[in-house]
Structure 1
Amino acid sequence: MRFEAFPTREELEEHARLVPEIEPSAVLAMLRISQAAEIIRSSINDVLTKQYHLSQGKLRVMIVLHQNPEGIAPSQLAAKTGVTRATITTMVKRMVRDGLATVVIDQEDKRGKKVSLTARGRQFMDQVLPGHYLRISTLMNRLSEDEQAELIRLLTKLSQP
C-alpha cells in the first residue's frame, strides 16, 4: 500500500507563503512516517487477523495479561493498554466467553477484581507470540542495530509532548 496523494514540495511551499510556519520538509517527513507506520501495521495485523482472528487491541490486552500471570485489575489493564475501562470491560467479557481469560475477586482487596489468562489463553499466546515477534524481527532486521537504536531515539523524541 503506497500513498499517491502526497502534496508536492511546490504545493507545500505555496501554503508556506500563506502560513510561514509551515515547513515543507517537515510535512513530507511526517507523511512518510505515517505511510510507513500504516504499511508496517497492516503487514503485521493482517497475519494476526487472518490467522488468529486477533485485533491489535486484543493482542495488547493479552500481552499484558501474559506478563501478569497473577492477574491484574481491569483499571490497570486499561491504563497499560491505553484503552478506556469500558473497552476493557467489553474485551474481557468476550475473552471470558471464549475461554481465554478469567475474572476473580482480588484476595487483597475484596472489592476489586483481577483478570488473568486461563490455561487456554496462555497456550494461545504461546502459539501467537513467537511468530508475531519473528515477523517484527524480520521487518526490523532491514535496519542495523545502530539504525534501530537511532530510530527509537528519534521516534521517542518526536512523540514526547
Structure 2
Amino acid sequence: MRARTRELWSEHNPGLDTSPMEVVAQVKRVVAALDRAVAPLYEGAALTAAEVELLVPLRHADEPVTASGLAFRLGMSRAGVSKALAKMERRGLIARSVNPADRRAALISLTATGEDAIDQLFPRELAAHAQVLAGLGSDRQRVVDALARLAEVMEAHLDADAER
C-alpha cells in the first residue's frame, strides 16, 4: 500500500520527493503497534495512557517539577499538560504547591494515590512493551541507536528552525 501511494504521488507530481514517507510510515507503524500492545491494560484502568506518560517522570523526580517543565520534557503542549494535570488533581493523583521561585508556576508532585496508581500500571506497561520488543534479540541496540539518531536529526532541525 505504501509503495503504491508513493507511486501514485510520483505519477501525479513527478518532482515531489516522497522518500520521507518511508521513515514516517515506519515510525507510525511502531507507535500504532505500541498502542495496540498496551490498549488492553487501559481498559477499565485507573489511569489513561496519557496520564501514565505524565506521572512516570513525577514518580521519582528528585527536584520540583512544573507543568511547563513537564510539557517541555515530554514534548507536549503546555495547555494540554495543564488540562490533564487539573483532571488528575481533581482525582487526587497529584498535588500542586506554591513555587517559591516563581509564584506563577506551581510545583507538581504525586500524592500517595497517584504513586499507587502509577506503581500498579507502569510495570504492566513495561512488560507489554518488553513482550512486543522481544523479537529484536541482538538487533535491539542497533534499533535503539538508529532511533536515537533519528530523534537527534529531527530535533536539531527543529531547534535550528526555532532559532531563525
Category of TM-score, reference length = shorter chain: 0.7 to 0.9
Equivalent pairs, count: 152
1:47-66 aligned within 5 A: 47-52=40-45, 54-66=47-59
1:103 correspondence with 2:96: yes
Q: State the shift of 1:28 in Å.
A: 5.1
1:91 correspondence with 2:84: yes
Aligned residues of 2:66 and 2:105 also touching (Cα < 8 A): yes
Structure with higher RCO (Cα < 8 A, 6+ apart):
2
Q: State the shift of 1:156 in Å.
A: 2.4
1:19 correspondence with 2:11: no
Question: Which one of 30, 34, 39 corresponds to residue 40 of structure 1?
Answer: 34
Aligned residues of 2:85 and 2:94 also touching (Cα < 8 A): yes
Question: Quick one: distance in 1 between partners of 2:99 and 2:9?
Answer: 57
Q: Which residue of structure 2 lines up, in the alignment, with residue 3 of structure 1?
A: none
Root-mean-square deviation (CA), in Å?
2.7
Structure 1: segments with no counterpart, 5+ residues: 1-5
Structure 2: segments with no counterpart, 5+ residues: 155-164
Work out the percentage of aligned pairs sharing the same amino acid: 19
Q: Which residue of structure 2 lines up, in the alignment, with residue 153 of structure 1?
A: 145
Aligned residues of 2:66 and 2:107 also touching (Cα < 8 A): yes
TM-score (normalizing by structure 2): 0.75
Q: State the shift of 1:133 in Å.
A: 0.9
Q: Which has the larger radius of gyration?
A: 1
TM-score (normalizing by structure 1): 0.76
